[in-house]
Structure 1
């Protein structure tokens, strides 16, 4: 088998229960909340707001998380729990109270509602400790990493699921998380994102699921078909054997995800499930859509997907792949507003946005990435998405992401001027925390190579805190002085393929001193 933030708080109070540090609610309510708003099916059935409107606590242990739940006035009192550091078996114990029902071997969100758990500061990692949602509603989990949760071996947690939900769960939004294992079932791991026994109105967005035998399921058996109304958007599934996801009954909306190295099967729609599969990018994978390992068929509606080096098994027995000539065999109406990126943009968009500790950035729907969170998008007709292929315009990238040529060996950078403390080389170091600024509000920055290099797209990425300053620009072939493109603002800029040794981004107007963090170039 192949294996290949939000808000800082000015104070935190603590008490001690059974010898463990426990977070206590801050005196100021609504100090922070989830970043952005829920999308997809989590917006239905009354919506998903988590702990909005309640108090905020800071927790650095699993015991502190449980205590925060137990110290509420009731099991439905809204609360936001900011988590920082590593949460593991060594700092997680059961805590008792009238407003909670916790356990020692997992983070237990049981028989509760109106809760947000969000990673802050340097990040939150749940190490070998799963998150379990049971008989609960209105839950948000955002900006955390959950890794190496096992069902066998030592230590064990949550049946081997990174995040698991079961038994009458409603309205959960899981966003910008990283879920990862280090192998498959034989190594003691199970699913990364499992939903079973009547779980509905859930969205998984802008997340990374990787290095596991099983991505996740909806329904634990062919008779467990009470689950549904699940949205998967802008996620990256990487190095996974199967279940991306496995669907038994119900409806799922799967759009703008990037699938890489699926070894056995991908989206497995079975037992009457109906999946709408829009503008995804499937790459270097096998049997990415169909009905597998059962004779109980499922269904799909497909629109605008890209299949890049995908192989397909021959149909027969319990193997019913959708390809190689992938066609719809049902229709699925989507009741909420959403906005599609073109499938060709998906690898770049997901690379820049998905996972924990990536700034909780989201796509703005035109194949570029804003530097700060934006509210959930809307469309004029909630059941009709915009065209699956964006119309040509100066910010639309070519069909594939490709290699950032600014980072290859031998690439250099120079410019017209540089402000004190900045460097030309900062635009090609792969870091968003360093940048180049001109000595005034205008100037130029260039990427150059020792030999002729073909370029047709650049991406100008502004540093955090200085976005939107760039006004008018020109892109120049510095070898000849020819203008390749002109316009205003940062982001992705395309032009006709040009062979050159140096390309220049010239800022001719700005509303302040620009900060260019990265000058990416692509063939």
Structure 2
């Protein structure tokens, strides 16, 4: 049973820097409502632990949520915020502080890390109020309902998205939530679960998405291809017109979901995206998988799915449904372990486990629900601690530079620079990100073996690059991490795309050449 700490409230709040905050109630850490551990791609890139190991605070208004964030020692101090009741525009105001960047009329998780937002008991309700995650990492949202968020009409919030992520977001686990609208764009609503502008390592699990024109997207346009490594499992999509999800580029793993009444289209893989679609149950729906509304092809690997009363449109120039007999047209490697329920029991198991207020139950992998043990993981930030670390050297590698003649892309590019400049063999041209951090990739049309890269900085910028990671962009696995430009060695890996991600710098990096070698 939770023990009140009202007698020591002001001392406790002062210890957290929250003495001036009204209404934030500190509770004992062992009473945290957060349960279970992250799954899917949220386990990669160092993992997702949210506010584990930090203080636990109770909030009953949006203003109190913001106050708890702003009262931390700094923007990465772990915190679990237990939310109770209904959060709406009337009780959500901007709060200022050195450890936060909040706003009126939206739950703003911006430029922060190591936060858990969890509904108490049957779950909290965010009514007409969206949750906005931006420039943030290691975030958990669990056991909440977000409903009727509008982008037009009154009141508006979060661009009409129930949960929206954008701008360099990493490691988010959204679990046992209910995301719902009351119509489509003509009624003022947008997406239920959107990711844009370099959002990666996200899992949506055991959630219900319903009554909306748009389920959610990964990538805001055909040029926004920096979003990737998303897992969707054990979710219910019900009465959705399209985007379950819409994938533009990147990799997604979609398994054990129940889709009912997808009215126009379902999983829309396009612009080079790859989706692994396993053991889902599609029911009473139309065009549940394919590339739709574009001629920019996407890809899928399918197995174990059930198509129950699904209709398929005819092939056209911008309409490529996977059915009526879906077959794989790519292969997707998944870097984490997972258990598949048989597709035949997915409707039953999802009906008992998905959404807020279901007791945070999960499947045991054998079509039966179970309650996980409370979270007891230590505080952690999403860094690649389990991967080898390295310091780049200046020894020039031998052999053929495989980047010459390859392709390239990245997270952003500064004016006057180009992704292609890193593979042209010319030290006078270069790529820079739009800010002090960003990523650049080299890619091939078929699997290529790489064990060494050479990052060469443009003249005059030597020593600017600080910390970095080398990522297998096919799977999201971090191959190595370290600091400084130069020659970087890692275990020999066969891949289609390798990414050099700059996570820290002393200015604006300028990469003249991103050379790749087999050995």
Rounded Cα–Cα distance in structure 2 between residues aligned with 1:368 and 1:25: 36
Distance 1:70 1:257 in 2: 37
Alignment partner, residue 23 of structure 2: 22
Aligned-partner SS, 2:165:
strand
Q: Deviations over 1:336-391 (max 9, x none)?
A: 01000000010000000000010000000111122555899xxxxxxxxxxxxxxx
Structure 2: distance between partners of 1:253 and 1:85:
33
**1:64 corresponding residue in structure 2:** 64
CA distance in 1, matches of 2:320, 2:375: 39
Return 5+ residue gaps in structure 1 as ranges: 1-6, 377-523
Pairwise CA distance, 1:68: 0.1
RMSD across aligned positions (CA): 2.1
1:280-338 Cα distance to aligned partner (Å, 9 max, x none): 00000000000000010000000100000000000102110000010000000000010
Report how far residue 246 of structure 1 moved. 0.1
Q: Following TM superposition, by how much is the alpha carbon of 1:131 offset from its aligned partner in structure 2, in angstroms?
A: 0.1
2:139 and 2:104 mapped to 1: Cα distance?
20
TM score, norm. by length of structure 2: 0.69
Match of 1:179 in 2: 179
CA contact (8 A) 1:50 1:114 kept: yes
Q: Distance in 2 between matches of 1:122 and 1:370?
A: 17
Question: 2:118 maps to what in 1?
Answer: 118
Q: What's the TM-score, normalizing by structure 1?
A: 0.68
Aligned to 1:272: 272
Measure how far apart 1:42 and its partner are: 0.1
In structure 1, the residue matched to 2:4 is 10
Q: Does the Cα contact within 8 Å between 1:31 and 1:55 map onto a contact in 2?
A: no
* 2:83 is the alignment partner of 1:83: yes
Pairing 1:426-505 to 2, within 5 Å after superposition? none
Distance 1:342 1:166 in 2: 34
Shift of 1:20: 8.6
Whether the 8 Å contact between 2:279 and 2:305 is mirrored in structure 1 is: yes
Contact 1:22–1:67 (Cα < 8 Å) also in 2: no
1:338 corresponds to which residue? Answer: 338
Mapped to 2, the partners of 1:176 and 1:104 lie a distance apart of: 26
Q: Quote how far apart the aligned CAs of 1:11 are.
A: 3.8
Q: CA deviation at 1:33?
A: 5.6
Counterpart-to-counterpart distance in 2, 1:371 and 1:75: 32
2:232 maps to 232
SS at match of 1:340: coil
SS of equivalent residue, structure 2 residue 72: coil
CA distance in 2, matches of 1:100, 1:367: 42
Secondary structure of the corresponding residue to residue 121 of structure 1: coil
Separation in 2, partners of 1:9, 1:332: 49
Query: Are residues 1:248 and 2:248 paired?
Result: yes
Q: Which residue of the partner structure matches residue 365 of structure 2?
A: 365
The Cα offsets for residues 236-255 of structure 1, whole Å up to 9 and x where unpaired, read as 00000000000000000000
Contact 1:175-1:207 within 8 A present in 2 as well: yes
Secondary structure at 1:355 match in 2: coil
Preserved contact between residue 174 and residue 204 of structure 2 (Cα < 8 Å): yes
On the 8 A contact 1:25/1:68 being kept in 2, the answer is: no
Closer/same/farther in 2, CA of residues 100 and 20 from structure 1, 3 Å limit: closer
**More RCO (CA 8 Å, sep 6+):** 2
- Matched positions, count: 369
Structure 2 gaps, min length 5: 377-519
